[in-house]
Structures are given as C-alpha cells and as structure tokens.
Amino acid sequence: MPNRCIRPGDNPDLTKERETCTFDTDELAANLYGSRRNLERRREISQKVSADPDFADPIPHEFLSREKAVDATAKKSKVIFQKWKNLVKPEEMPHLVNEAVGIQGFPLALHHAMFLPSLNSQADDDLAAEILPRAKAYEIIGTYAQTEMGHGTNLRELETTATYDKTTQEFVINTPTRKAMKWWPGNLGKMSNYAVVCCQLIIDGKNLGPHNFLVQLRCEKTHEPLPGITVGDIGPKIAYNTTDNGFLALDNVRIPRRQMLMKHAKVSPDGTYTPPIHAKLNYGAMVHVRAHMIYSHGHLLARAAAVATRYSAVRRQGRIENGGPEVQILDYQTQQHRIFPQIARAYAILFAGQEVRDQYAKTLEGIANGQADLLPDLHALTSGLKSVVTFMGGLGIEQCRMSCGGHGYSDASGLPKLYGVQIGGCTYEGENMVMLQQTARYLMKGVKWAEQGKSLSPSIAYLGKKSGKSLIGLKGGDITREHEAILETLEHTARRLAIDASQLWEKRIKGGECKERAWNGVTVEMNRASRVYTRLFMARSFHRRLLSSPSSIRSVLSDLFSLYLHYECVDMAQHLLEDGHCNGGQIQYLKKRLYEDLTTLRPNAVSLVDSFEISDRELNSVLGRRDGNVYEALFQWAKQSELNYTDVLPAVKNYMMPMMEENRSKL
Ligand SMILES: CC/C=C\C/C=C\C/C=C\C/C=C\C/C=C\CCCC(=O)SCCNC(=O)CCNC(=O)[C@H](O)C(C)(C)COP(=O)(O)OP(=O)(O)OC[C@H]1O[C@@H](n2cnc3c(N)ncnc32)[C@H](O)[C@@H]1OP(=O)(O)O
Ligand SMILES: Cc1cc2nc3c(=O)[nH]c(=O)nc-3n(C[C@H](O)[C@H](O)[C@H](O)COP(=O)(O)OP(=O)(O)OC[C@H]3O[C@@H](n4cnc5c(N)ncnc54)[C@H](O)[C@@H]3O)c2cc1C
C-alpha cells in the first residue's frame, strides 16, 4: 500500500518503514481531516507558508530572546491577518497560524479564542453591530480578562466591580485591591487595546455576580494605556512565551451602559436587571475554548508521537540478539509500549475533539433560538474532556520525550516546548481538579435521573443501563465482539464509579455533614468517576469513527482501536477489578492482547504518524523530520546557538580565564 511520504535521499530505515505500510496513508489523513479536499488544502497551506519569504526564520525561535521572539511573531501575525486573511477559510486559520508562527501564542490568539467568541455570543445587537466589524477587521485587538491575582477558579469571589451609575448611565469599573488585579489574560500585557473584562455587577448596592463588559484599555492612535488603566506583561512562563499574558488594574474607569455584554443578562437605563435564560451563559467564552482545545491538544500529542516514532525508527542503539547490526530502538518492546499508546490516544483525542466541536455548534444554535437545554451536557463533557485530555497529553508528551533519550531533552527535539504548552491546558480554562467536579455534579444528577427512570442524554445514557457479566476474553477471537465486550465493561465501570461516588456522598450527608462538606470528603472518588465517564466517551467516539470509516483504512484503525482499548483497560485495571466485575485472568488477557497489538502495529507505526500530516515546519523538530536525516540536522541546529557566535565567550574571558590564571599563578 502506498505511503506517499517516501522520497529519494531519505534515511533508508524510514523508507523501509514506509514500504511495509499496509494502508493508504492519504486515505487515513483524509479521514482524519474530514475529506480529500481538506487534506489537499492542508498541504497547500503548508507549502505556501514555507515558500512565503515573509514567514522565513533567519534563525530558529529557540535561539531568540523573548522580546525578539515576540517581535518575530507579531510581524508574522500581521502577514497572516492582512496578506493571508482572505486566502484561507476561518476553519483553516488555526493550521495557518501553527504553520506560520508556531504554538507558543501570537498577538491575536485571545482575540480569536475568546474576545470574538464573547462578543459574538454575549454582546447585544447594538454593541455587536458597532464593535464586531471593527474587531473582525483587526482595527482593534481584544482579549478576555477574567482571572485575578487572587481568584481564578472561584469566579463568584472575583473582586473587580462594575457599579451602575444611573445618573450618567455608566458603569464604573474598579480594581479595589492589589490581588483584584487581572492577572494572566493572554495578550493583555502589550498587544490588546480592548478587553472583555469580567466584573461583579453592582446595582443599587446589590451584587448580581460576574458579568462581562467591553473596556477600552489603550488609545487607538498611540497605544498608550488610557487614564485610570495600569497594564503590563506578567513575565516569562514555562511556555507560551510569545504570548504577553498580562496584568490590569482599573481605577474607577467609566464606560457607557451599552458596553455591558447584554445579549442574555440586561441592565436597562433605570438600572432594572433582567437575568439570562441560563444562569451561566456569561461563562460561554470558556465553554467555547474548552470545546475547541480538545482537538488542538490532540494535535500536540500527535506531534510528539510523530517525533518519537520517526526518531525511534532512525535511531539505532544496542542489540536484541547477539550479532548483526544494532537495532532500531523502535524494536524494543518498552519503546513500543511507551510510544504506540500515544499514537492511539492522539487519534482518539482528535476524533473526540471533532465530535465535541460539532456538539458545541449544535448547542450554540439552540441558544441562539432561546433553548439552552443542551448546555448542561456540553458543559459536563467539555469540562471532563478538557481535564482528561490535557493531563493525558502531558503524560504522553513526556513519555515521547523520554523515549528520545538525551536528544529529547534538547529544544532541537521540539518536545520540551510541546510539553510546556500542553500542560498549560491543565490549568487554564479551569483547573483540572475543579473542572472534573463540574462533570461529577452532572453525573450525580444523572445517577438520580437514572434511578427515577428519566430519559438521559446520549453521553450519560449508560447510567440507565443494567450491567451483565464482563465478557472480556470470552469472545473467542472475533475482534468486533471483543471491542463491544470491552466497551460494555467500560460502561459498567463508569456507571459503577458514579453510583459508588453518589452513595459515598449520600452516606456522609446522612451522617450529618452538609452537602458541600460531604462533597469535599468524596471529591477524589467523584473526579475518578468523571475521568472514567470521559474515557468512556473517548472510546465510544473512536468506535463510532471506526464503524464509519471506509474499508481501505478499517483494518489499521481497528488495530489501533484494539491497542487503545487494551491499553486504557490495563491502565484502569484497578477500577475494573475493584468490584469483581473483571477478574485477574481477564486483566492478564488484556495485557497479552496489548503486547500482541504492539507487534501488530509495529510495521505501520511510522505510517500512522505520517497520516497526521504535520509538515516539518509545523513539527519544528530536528528529531521528527520527515526525511529522518537527523544527525547532520542536529549539528546544523546547534551551530546556530548564540554561544557559538564566537569561540571565546566574554563570560569565559571576564571570569573563567582570570580565575584559572589567578589559580595557576598561586602555584
Ligand atoms: C480564526 C482563528 C485563528 C486563530 C486560532 C484560534 C484560536 C486561538 C489559538 C490559540 C489560543 C490558545 C490558547 C488559549 C490559551 C489560553 C486561554 C485561557 C483562557 C482562560 O483561562 S480564561 C479563564 C478561565 N477560567 C476558568 O475556567 C475558571 C473556572 N471556574 C469556573 O468556571 C467557575 O468558577 C466554576 C464553574 C468552577 C464554578 O462556578 P460557580 O460557582 O458560578 O458555579 P457552580 O459550581 O455553583 O455551578 C452552578 C451551575 O452552573 C453550571 N455551570 C458552571 N459553569 C458553567 C458553564 N461554563 N456553562 C454551563 N453551565 C455551567 C454548573 O454545572 C452548575 O449546574 P447545576 O445544574 O447547578 O449543577
Ligand atoms: C497559560 C495560561 C493562560 C491563561 N490565560 C488566561 C486568559 O486569557 N484569561 C484569563 O482570564 N485567565 C487566564 N489564565 C488563568 C487561568 O484560567 C487560571 O489560572 C485557572 O482558571 C486556575 O485558577 P487559579 O490560578 O486561581 O488556580 P487556583 O484556583 O488557585 O488553584 C490552585 C489549586 O487549588 C485547587 N483548587 C482550587 N479550587 C478548588 C476546588 N473548588 N476544589 C478542589 N481544588 C481546588 C486547584 O485544583 C489547584 O490545585 C491563564 C492561565 C495560564 C496558566
């Protein structure tokens, strides 16, 4: 079967890998990206970005100071949002951005991720008509300023206030304390001149909770901060260092009434407050990002898996048997066990990410028509997925990094930066432990609804089913039935954990604790139930994708799905065993099947990551290059280190040489 990545001059080990491929890599890539046309567009964009001199990097970003890297990123962003803007469709933008500027953020990241979505979904018609065309035309740059130095998770306790002044029909926006400063918002520090600012709405002394307001921060002509506004960058971070995460203090800044985002909640000129149709519609921008970050985080793991797999195919070290050449490290079972599950998980996350994006679009449609009934399910699912995927992705990228040995520790591998970006997702958009509890709240309701025989939405329909005996290992070689048996076992486990957590909670309440304290006593179990609910959704979503895939890729997807299921079950063995639903023999069976999967997938490993269709520029990894010629590239990369601009560094001349000289003269 063709792997279309084969080219003359490639590392022969990689070529051999590609020649053993049993499926059409283009078919799988087209399936992943939705169609042949999408795949072609993806390639076209990659090629055009590489050929555009405006995107050329004189030296790799890794060797730039933060200020220079921010500068280079801003320069490229201008090219994207002026020259390229009309050449790509909105849904192609993230790929263009990744390709042209990389993954560490760019001046318009929050403008796209949160400012525009907040205005789109929360501004009333008048404000939207005034501000959206300007924002969409990049006449202004905006961000989303919610988190404060003292509060990020607990939005109810945010301190920034928007007090309505009826006499002038204005809101007075104020930062009352040091820890009430907005702290962290992306692109707030230096790039944005506007922000959606989340404040406690105060009318006639009554606090009506967090609401969003459009605030101008900087002069449109000079970009200087406006009077009453203190704004700046919070300094370097683990990653995202081309993003100016910022701080902001507002000293009784007045804005017109109509700059409150009033599509859902409203304040009339006389100060009458009308609540929204759903209390949490003000939190919509967060749901937007959570729904979209699943896919983009799947892509981060895909990149790491591509780097580790390709490098492991060209890296030869040690021997499995005496005699013969050194082996490709990809032939070590431990290496396969480290990397192949990451390939499978990356596909699983990407598939789930696509499903949840569709679900988000449907929910938004409903809200536009005055129906918010799909929101609770979406909120539970996105909260769970966001938490599971970012954590799983972080672990996976770290496994990939370690699997590349010493070179994985170098920035040349691209893996440290990937890791830094990925784990940011464990914190932003709601800290993972907190978001899993949001999912758990929904599960607890689901358990009750199931007990009462009420109808359940698809993502929790399993709560209403009855468990049979686990059929894992008893399905006699039929792979389709084995997949079903495992999915049913996962359903049982997810149901059982939710019911157990619910009973533990109830027991504590019956024991005299208030609901909230009792909740805190069972949150580890609650979050466990949420994780398994989420992992069940991911498995089901992968299964749906497998069943709808064309026959040309069905077999390789089925192999990958088998590995995915076996790995997840072994990883969750404790949960499967705890209530005796599975026995030790069944776990041994799953492990045996997993080791078989590693062998089955080995010939297709490189081709599976080739189907992620990530260009060399986007991958930005010397180890993961498509042609596999890593050693020469590694040397060329290192030569660009600024420490190599001169043979004798001033640091050596000024300190080390005099020290050695002084010590020598003492002898
Ligand atoms: C063209 C394109 C070009 C370019 C590329 C595009 C994109 C850009 C590219 C890159 C961008 C990259 C990266 C972006 C990076 C970073 C962005 C990060 C931004 C942020 O971090 S913003 C700040 C996020 N902050 C949080 O998430 C805070 C978390 N806390 C909360 O959400 C809440 O405080 C809470 C939910 C934990 C608690 O809130 P509460 O106390 O008010 O509520 P309760 O717990 O009591 O719940 C009551 C009730 O409400 C339900 N609920 C809660 N939240 C929601 C919600 N969001 N939606 C719906 N329902 C919600 C909850 O379930 C309860 O329901 P119940 O029925 O009563 O049980
Ligand atoms: C890279 C990055 C980008 C960001 N971008 C933005 C942005 O654009 N706009 C913006 O407004 N914000 C942004 N943030 C802020 C981010 O959303 C918050 O940091 C995040 O929501 C967590 O809040 P916190 O910092 O208050 O953590 P805390 O709530 O202080 O968390 C600290 C610890 O306490 C635990 N904890 C807190 N509450 C509970 C609870 N109820 N139950 C159990 N444990 C709990 C947490 O799990 C965690 O372990 C960004 C953050 C990062 C890292």
Per-residue model confidence as pLDDT tens digits over 332-377: 999 999 999 999 999 999 999 999 999 999 999 998 888 889 999 9
How close are the terminal C-alpha atoms of the chain, in Å?
72
pLDDT for position 103: 96
For residue 477, pLDDT over 80 is answered with no
Flag whether 645 is in a domain: no
| The pLDDT value given to residue 370 | 87
Token pair listed for 103: 């993954």
Cβ–Cβ < 8 Å for 266, 123: no
117 close to 128: Cβ distance less than 8 angstroms = no
Report how far ligand 1's centroid is from the alpha carbon of 298 (Å).
20
Whole-number Cα distances in Å, 185 to 111, 212, 421, 539: 11, 14, 15, 34
Residue 650 has pLDDT above 90, yes or no: yes
Q: What is the band of 399 on the pLDDT scale with cuts at 50, 70, 90?
A: very high
On whether both 353 and 445 belong to a single domain, the answer is: yes
* Ligand 2 atom closest to 198 (CA): 11
- Mean pLDDT, rounded, of the chain: 96
3-state secondary structure of 259: helix
| Confidence grade of residue 280 (pLDDT, cut at 50, 70, 90) | confident
**What does the pLDDT read at residue 102?**
95
pLDDT of 476 over the 90 cut:
no
Was 384 annotated as part of a binding site?
no
Claim to verify: residue 448 and residue 311 sit in the same structural domain? yes
Which residue, of 234, 258, 276, is where some domain finishes?
Answer: 276
CA 325 to ligand 2 center in whole angstroms: 51
DSSP string, 502-546: HHHHHHHHHTT--HHHHHHTTHHHHHHHHHHHHHHHHHHHHHHHH
Q: Whose C-alpha lies nearest to ligand 2, atom 23? A: 152
* Range list of β-strands (E), 234-378: 246-250, 253-256, 266-267, 273-274
> Which pLDDT band, with edges at 50, 70 and 90, does 78 fall under?
very high
209 lines ligand 1 (CB under 6 A): no
Q: Note whether residue 16 is domain-resident.
A: no
- What does pTM read for this prediction? 0.97
Q: 237 C-alpha to center of ligand 2: Å?
A: 15
The closest-lying atom of ligand 1 relative to the alpha carbon of residue 430 is 27
| 272, 369: one domain | no
Two structure tokens written together for 627: 């042609």
- Out of 114, 116, 141, 147, give the residue to mutate to test ligand 2, the one with the largest number of ligand atoms within 8 Å of its CB: 147
Residues at CB less than 6 angstroms from ligand 2: 110, 144-147, 151-153, 184-186, 240, 245, 424, 427-431, 433-434
Q: Which of 276, 297, 317 is the last residue of a domain?
A: 276
Residues contacting 213, CB < 8 A, separation 6+: 162, 171, 173, 196, 197, 198, 199, 255, 259, 260, 261
Both structure tokens of 34: 């939705």
Q: What is the Å distance from ligand 1's center to 358 Cα?
A: 18
On the CB side of 462, CA atoms within 13 Å amount to: 24
Is residue 556 included in any domain, yes or no?
Answer: yes
Number of C-beta neighbours around residue 623 at 10 A: 27
Distance 234 CA to ligand 2 centre (A): 15
pLDDT of residue 159: 98
Cα 185 to middle of ligand 1, angstroms: 14
Per the CB < 8 A criterion, the answer to whether 62 and 411 are in contact is yes
Ligand 1 and 135: CB distance under 6 A: no
Same-domain pairing of 272 and 288: no
Domain span including residue 218:
111-276
**Same domain, residue pair 524 and 602:** yes
Q: Whose CA is nearest to atom 29 of ligand 1?
A: 430
- What is the 147 CA–ligand 2 centroid distance (Å)? 8
137 in helix, strand or coil?
A: coil
Q: Could you tell me the two tokens for 473?
A: 């290992």
Same domain, yes or no, for 541 and 581? yes
Query: Which DSSP state fits 153?
Result: S
Amino acid, single-letter form, for residue 295: Y
> pLDDT digit string (tens) for 547-603?
999 999 999 999 999 999 999 999 999 999 999 999 999 999 999 999 999 999 999
Q: Between β-strands 253-256 and 170-174, what pairing exists: parallel, antiparallel or unpaired?
A: antiparallel
Q: What does the alpha-carbon distance between residue 595 and residue 592 come to, in Å, rounded to a whole number?
A: 5
Q: Is 186 in the pocket of ligand 1 (CB under 6 A)?
A: yes
- Confidence at 85, pLDDT banded by 50, 70, 90: confident
Ligand 1 proximity of 46 Cβ (cutoff 6 Å): no
Is 231 a domain residue? yes
Give one word for 473, left, alpha or beta, with left for phi > 0 and alpha for psi -120 to 50. left
Alpha-carbon distance of 475 to 480, in angstroms, equals 9
Residue 209 near residue 201 (C-beta atoms within 8 A): yes
Ligand 2 nearest atom to the CA of residue 146, by list position: 11
Higher pLDDT, 609 or 323: 609
Helix H or strand E segment including 618: helix 616-619
Q: Is 380 in the pocket of ligand 1 (CB under 6 A)?
A: no
The residue whose CA is least distant from atom 38 of ligand 1 is: 154
Tell me which ligand sits closest to the C-alpha of residue 150: 2
Residue from 146, 155, 158, 184 to probe ligand 2 pocket by mutation (most atoms less than 8 Å from CB): 184
Say which of 429, 482, 488, 491 is annotated catalytic. 429
Interval 430-451 mean pLDDT: 98
What pLDDT shows up at residue 5?
79
Whether residues 224 and 369 share a domain: the answer is: no
Whether 494 maps to a domain, the answer reads: yes
pLDDT reported for residue 120: 93
Do 208 and 265 belong to one domain? yes
For ligand 1, atom 16, which residue shows the shortest CA distance? 428
Per-residue tokens: 286: 């967060």
91 a catalytic residue: no
Neighbours of 535 (CB within 10 A): 24
Q: Which two tokens stand for residue 429?
A: 């958009």
Separation of CA 618 from chain center: 16
- The number of folded domains in the chain is 2
CA gap 477, 485 in Å, rounded: 12
Question: Are residues 285 and 272 part of one domain?
Answer: no
Helix (H) or strand (E) holding 621: none
CB 526 within 8 A of CB 499: no
Residue 617 has pLDDT above 90, yes or no: yes
Is residue 541 a part of any domain in this protein? yes
Tokens of 135: 């924002």
Residue 113 in contact with ligand 1 by CB distance below 6 A: yes
> What does the alpha-carbon distance between residue 318 and residue 65 come to, in Å, rounded to a whole number?
39
- Same domain as 390, residue 532: yes
- Inter-residue contact 38 to 354 (CB < 8 Å): no
Domain boundary residue among 216, 247, 276?
A: 276
Residue 655, in any domain of the structure: no
The rounded distance, in Å, linking the Cα atoms of 145 and 139 is 19
Beta bridge partners of 203: 206
Q: How open is the CA angle 155-156-157, to the nearest 5 degrees?
A: 90
ipTM over 0.90: yes
Cβ contact 376:442 at 8 Å: yes
Pocket test for ligand 1, best of 116, 280, 374 (most atoms within 8 A of CB): 280
Distance CA 357, CA 292 (A): 6
Is the residue at 500 inside a domain? yes
Same domain assignment for residues 293 and 271: no
**Bigger pLDDT: 171 vs 284:** 171
pLDDT digits (tens, 9 = 90+) for 157-200: 999 999 999 999 999 999 999 999 999 999 999 999 999 999 99
State the angle between helix axes of 333-368 and 584-601 in degrees (0 to 180), rounded to the nearest 10: 100
Which CATH number does the domain housing residue 388 bear? 1.20.140.10
Q: What is the CATH number of the domain that holds 230?
A: 2.40.110.10
Ligand 1 pocket test target in 122, 148, 248, 286 with most atoms within 8 Å of CB: 286
The whole-number pLDDT of residue 383 equals 98
C-alpha to C-alpha distance for 408 and 410, rounded to whole angstroms: 5
Residues 556, 562, 563, 565, CA torsion sign: positive
Ligand closest to Cα of 103 equals 1
Question: From CA 148, how far away is CA 112, in angstroms rounded?
Answer: 21
- Using 50, 70 and 90 to split pLDDT, how confident is the model at 631? very high
Q: Say whether both 521 and 563 belong to one domain.
A: yes
Is 147 assigned a ligand-binding role in the annotation? yes
Given a cut of 80, whether residue 272 has pLDDT beyond it is yes
